[in-house]
Amino acid sequence: MSQQSKRRWPYPEVVAHRGGGTLAPENTIAGFREGVRHGYRAAECDVKLSADNVCFLLHDDTVDRTCNGKGLAAGMFMAELSRLDAGAWKGAAFAGEALPTLANVAAYCLAQGMSLNLEIKPCPRREEETGRLVAQEAAKLWAGAAVPPLLSSFEIDALRAAKAAEPALPRAFLCEEIPADWRAILEELDCVALHCDHKTLTEPLARAIKAAGYQLLCYTVNDAADARRLLDWGVDSLCTDRLDLLPAR
Ligand code: G3P
Ligand code: MG
């Protein structure tokens, strides 16, 4: 069993997906505010690097879907990204909402006592440096915090780099479908947890992962019956878009 997996799991049973789920523009401070309003004590968000290596929140490779601009995020400096409106696409009430830096998010969440799952979501071909820089920045921003941010990624190279840079920060291997060699991956990356798409999880697999000493988080659980079933299987945390449907706990 890995060293990290023996640690406690300080993350709540429900985690708001992309900040505030679908109730606010994703990966914005308005989203985190929505989480706080619903009593949520944890959120997941997607972190990548600007062209000048600032860690900031965005899900896609481009700004097109969620901002009033166009282009690849990897080619844009943070000053340029900061001028974009990342809220108006979700409704006039959110107009003027900015793309937050990781530092903005840390300040807000630490002040609110909200814990975070930082999904390292590198721009293409920036996997290693994104893993390293997000881990280093997170370690600085959360230094001395009661609950460290949980770093997860679909990208094994990003998690490897995060582990090399800041081995003490907890890590989770994120996958859509759990691969046959999950034990070897979790062991190599010294992860505390496995995060997977709830649609691909089976009860025997959930029980095997728990029996191996790892924590289990499922995304994106937007149905109360699914939530109950997964918790019955031993899943530790559920990442959801529906803060209005799954009560904070
Ligand atoms: O971290 C869980 C989930 O956020 C992964 O999928 O595409 O919403 O980032 P995605
Ligand atoms: Mg994500």
- Mean pLDDT of the residues in the chain: 96
Is 87 domain-assigned? Answer: no
Does the beta carbon of 119 sit less than 6 angstroms from any atom of ligand 1?
A: yes
Residue 6 has pLDDT above 50, yes or no: no
Ligand 1: nearest atom to the Cα of 59: 9
> What is the pLDDT, as a whole number, of residue 166?
98
Gap from CA of 121 to ligand 2 centroid (Å): 7
CA 127/CA 121 separation, integer angstroms? 8
Q: Is 197 helix (H, G, I), strand (E, B) or coil?
A: strand
142 CB-near residues (< 8 Å, 6+ apart): 106, 110, 148, 149
- Indicate left, alpha or beta for 96 from its phi (over 0: left) and psi (-120 to 50: alpha): left
Query: Is 37 inside a domain boundary?
Result: yes
pLDDT one-digit tens code per residue, 117-138 = 999 999 999 999 999 999 999 9
Domain assignment of residue 170, yes or no: yes
Residue 86 maps to a domain:
no
Q: Is residue 111 part of a domain?
A: yes
Q: What is the pLDDT of residues 160-204, one digit of tens each?
A: 999 999 999 999 999 999 999 999 999 999 999 999 999 999 999
User: What is the per-residue pLDDT across 212-243, written as a single tens digit (0 to 9) for each?
Assistant: 999 999 999 999 999 999 999 999 999 999 99
Give the ligand whose atoms come closest to the C-alpha of residue 153. Answer: 1
CA distance 225 to 3: 34
- For residue 43, is it within any domain? yes
What residue's CA is closest to ligand 1, atom 3? 219
**H or E segment and range at residue 15:** strand 14-16
Helices (H), the chain: 29-37, 78-82, 102-112, 127-141, 156-165, 182-188, 203-211, 224-232
Q: State how many domains the chain has.
A: 1
Domain that holds residue 155: 4-62+102-240
Pick the residue whose CA is nearest to atom 10 on ligand 1: 59
Please list the active-site residues.
17, 59
Note whether residue 89 is domain-resident: no
The pTM assigned to this predicted structure is 0.97
Average pLDDT over residues 16-43: 98
